[in-house]
């Protein structure tokens, strides 16, 4: 392990994680007004009808898959008595379905973003960055899922990438495990932690606002008129700063 590896696989990922956490706290406190999905359905609906649900449902499945495959150690599934082959088969099929959905979804959304002028006009630079990183993560995540697991010999990421990733959280990342993984996994992992770093500054924050409360709250809400606190001195009355919005 040289210092480059240490920098790339330990220090930067931790910095990204810290940015992720601190960035979210900062954004939550200073930019409630910017905290939105920034829906573009008003501008364009026909492509979104397919792209939106395919991408999101695919992404949820993929995230669930990552939790299973990366955060749950191999010894745990073995202790549950799940044979290696069953696990492989399940992860391949499930992974393939999720991968195809996410891939199709992101393709439709990317096409829509770049070619529909109305949607393009509302996209800020940091949105572009997040979308490109997402596309990289997805494409490079799908290729191994489809190519290697289904058709190829199969590469056991649970003995390499997973060890490193879990180690990050345990405090002792296994750097050799990731440096010996195929390049495609390395780029995928890199783009993934890069996404974590930009996440709080993009529209991706909408993911934390899934409004589950809606399922049991009363339909009509009443609020008393509350006198607002006067603006902080020196802010000109703005309690928020806009991020990534060009306007």
Residues that bind another protein (CB under 8 A): 32-45, 48-49, 52-53, 55-57, 117-118, 120-122, 203, 206, 209-215, 217, 219-225, 227-230, 232-233, 245, 247
Please select the residue that binds ligand HEM; options are 29, 118, 206, 241, rule is CB under 6 A: 206
- Cβ distance to ligand HEM smaller for residue 59 or 98: 59
Binding mask 35-54 for ligand HEM (x = CB under 6 A): --x-xxx------x---x--
Helix runs in 74-124, H state only: 74-79, 84-115, 117-121
- Cβ distance to another protein smaller for residue 112 or 166: 112
Q: Yes or no: say if 196 and 19 are a contact pair by the CB < 8 Å rule.
A: yes
Per-residue CA distances from 69 to 16, 77, 229 (Å): 22, 10, 48
- Cβ distance to ligand HEM smaller for residue 19 or 160: 19
Instruction: Say which entry of another protein, ligand HEM, none residue 230 contacts (CB below 5 to 8 A, set by partner kind).
Output: another protein
Q: How many CA atoms lie within 13 A of 186 on its CB side?
A: 13
**Nearest partner of 65 among 44, 85, 88, 38, judged by Cα:** 88
Least gap, CB of 136 to ligand HEM (angstroms): 13
Q: Yes or no: say if 200 and 19 are a contact pair by the CB < 8 Å rule.
A: yes
Spatial separation of the C-alpha atoms in residues 104 and 91, rounded to whole Å = 19
Contact residues for 132 (Cβ-Cβ < 8 A; gap 6+): none
Q: Yes or no: say if 94 and 58 are a contact pair by the CB < 8 Å rule.
A: no
- Cβ distance to ligand HEM smaller for residue 173 or 200: 200
Size of the site for ligand HEM (CB under 6 A): 16
Note the residues at the interface with ligand HEM (CB under 6 A).
37, 39-41, 48, 52, 56, 59, 109, 113, 131, 134, 204, 206-207, 210
């Amino acid at each position: 392990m040289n210092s480059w590896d240490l920098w790339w696989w330990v220090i930067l990922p931790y910095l990204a994680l810290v940015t992720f956490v601190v960035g979210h706290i900062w954004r939550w406190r200073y930019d409630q007004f910017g905290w939105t999905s920034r829906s573009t359905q008003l501008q364009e609906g026909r492509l979104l009808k397919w792209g939106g649900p395919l991408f999101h449902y695919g992404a949820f499945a993929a995230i669930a898959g990552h939790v299973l495959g990366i955060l749950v150690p191999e010894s745990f599934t073995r202790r549950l008595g799940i044979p290696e082959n069953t696990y492989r088969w399940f992860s391949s099929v499930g992974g393939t379905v999720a991968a195809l959905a996410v891939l199709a979804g992101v393709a439709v959304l990317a096409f829509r973003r770049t070619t529909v002028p109305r949607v393009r006009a509302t996209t800020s630079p940091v949105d572009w960055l997040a979308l490109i990183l997402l596309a990289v993560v997805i494409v490079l995540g799908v290729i191994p899922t489809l190519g290697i697991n289904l058709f190829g010999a199969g590469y056991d990421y649970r003995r390499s990438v997973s060890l490193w990733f879990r180690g990050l959280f345990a405090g002792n990342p296994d750097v050799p495990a990731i440096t010996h993984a195929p390049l495609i996994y390395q780029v995928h992992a890199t783009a993934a932690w890069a996404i974590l770093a930009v996440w709080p500054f993009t529209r991706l924050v909408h993911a934390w606002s899934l409004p589950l409360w809606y399922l049991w709250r009363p339909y009509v809400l009443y609020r008393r008129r509350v006198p607002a606190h006067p603006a902080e001195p020196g802010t000109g009355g703005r309690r928020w700063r806009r991020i990534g919005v060009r306007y």
